[in-house]
Amino acid sequence: MDFKEAIELIWENRKYKTTSEKEAVSHLNEEVAESLNALLRGDRETAQAELEDALSCMLIAFKTLEINPDEAVLRQVNRMKKQPQRIMHIYTDRVEIKVNDEAKGGWAIWSADDLREAEKMAREFNCQIVKEDIPKQKWFSDLGKPQRLEESAISKNRITNSQPTCYNNQQLMFEIKKNARKN
């Protein structure tokens, strides 16, 4: 049986008469929610029955919204192939998130715990992790050691107009205040 035949068969045998598109989609939503609730209760049999009812509701919604199911499947497959590319760029002092090469956000890294949390978050949101211009042996190996201002605060590809961040922030703040007093 193809989609169009299935829609017509369900439409002819539906339990309720739909009066609007919103009502059809609302019925679909209710059946999916009931299926989920049954699964959460551990009642797999009821969950399956509710999901089958949801299938009927979806076909009724397709008919009500005048959606061609064959075309809808093809459109959905194309959307699935065009998933956004999410990349988390990890630098020694910060994290940046880009979606399809567009910067969407970022934050400072202050410790090894921050780094672990960032990597955990990347896995949760299915982000590719790229560790930028950082020698592998340097990852947090200098944590707590005094660093010179120009080494710790300014990376090659970054210009900041705010207070820079680094691993040893106390030393950096001392250097900034010392330089400010001179001026």
pTM greater than 0.75: no
| 146, pLDDT greater than 70 | no
- Residue identified by tokens 């994290």 is 95
DSSP state of 127: P
pLDDT tens profile 148-180 = 433 434 343 343 333 344 444 444 555 555 555
Specify the amino acid at residue 178.
K
Token pair belonging to 83: 């998933």
pLDDT tens profile 39-53 = 999 999 999 999 999
E strands present in the chain:
86-90, 94-99, 102-108, 128-131
Q: How many angstroms separate the most distant Cα atoms in the chain?
A: 86
Alpha helices in 129-168 (DSSP H): 149-153
DSSP state of 95: E
Token pair belonging to 36: 């989920």
Neighbours of 116 (CB within 10 A): 10
Phi then psi for 94, rounded to 5 degrees? -160, 165
Higher pLDDT, residue 29 or 181: 29
Proportion of the chain above pLDDT 90, given as a percent: 31
Q: Which pLDDT does position 173 carry in this prediction? A: 52
Calculate the alpha carbon distances from 35 to 55, 91, 159 in Å: 11, 44, 53
